């Protein structure tokens, strides 16, 4: 169980802060059942109320700083995804995003960076569906790493690039 003040990844809502834990006084809520009150860190100031034992939506702790640095060092080793069929590719992206796995987000980002480069080399733009999933994966990954590393989300991508480039020089 998470504690008040913890940062967690909550499904497609991304990084959220656990504001409260306790029963809810709403009609239809089960008496005595515990709920998390979550505040999404990078979206409007809405609140999310979810049962502590919710098994339908992925809830996990945000990476620690040490885990984040190890992940960044492993990025060059993570293989991109390749699916030629447009419809199957979108399905694959959608499935991988739902896992809330930072490794899967990296695979999507790497795939779409390579795809963008290839298409640009041929005078084409990245398809809108690819742009959409690239944004989702980047927002998810960079949002989590920002919390783990104690920096602003906009600083994460340059930090990763600098760190990977420094590793390549060693």
Task: Please report which confidence band the pLDDT of residue 45 belongs to, taking 50, 70 and 90 as the band edges.
Answer: confident
58 pLDDT exceeds 90?
yes
User: Spelled out in words, what is the top-level CATH class assigned to the domain 65-169?
Assistant: mainly alpha
Query: What distance in Å separates the CA atoms of residue 52 and residue 6, rounded to the nearest whole number?
Result: 13
- Model-level pTM? 0.89
| CA-only gyration radius of the chain, Å | 18
**73-115 pLDDT per residue, tens:** 999 999 999 888 877 888 999 999 999 999 999 999 999 999 9
Per domain, the residue ranges of the chain are: 7-61, 65-169
**120-140 pLDDT per residue, tens:** 999 999 989 999 999 999 999
Distances (CA, A) of 30 to 4, 26, 34, 58, 60: 21, 9, 9, 21, 23
Task: Say how far residue 12 (Cα) sits from the centre of its chain.
Answer: 8
């Amino acid at each position: 169980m998470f504690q008040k003040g913890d940062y967690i990844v909550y499904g497609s809502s991304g990084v959220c802060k656990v504001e409260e834990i306790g029963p809810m006084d709403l009609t239809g809520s089960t008496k005595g059942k515990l709920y998390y009150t979550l505040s999404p860190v990078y979206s409007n100031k809405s609140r999310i109320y979810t049962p502590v034992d919710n098994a339908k939506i992925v809830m996990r702790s945000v990476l620690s700083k040490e885990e984040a640095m190890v992940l960044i060092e492993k990025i060059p080793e993570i293989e991109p995804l390749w699916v030629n069929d447009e419809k199957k590719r979108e399905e694959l992206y959608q499935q991988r995003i739902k896992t809330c796995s930072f490794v899967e987000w990296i695979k999507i980002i790497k795939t779409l960076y390579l795809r963008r480069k290839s298409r640009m080399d041929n005078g084409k733009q990245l398809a809108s569906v690819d742009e959409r999933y690239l944004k989702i994966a980047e927002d998810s990954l960079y949002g989590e790493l920002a919390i783990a590393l104690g920096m602003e989300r906009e600083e994460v991508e340059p930090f990763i690039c600098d760190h990977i480039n420094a590793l390549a020089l060693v």
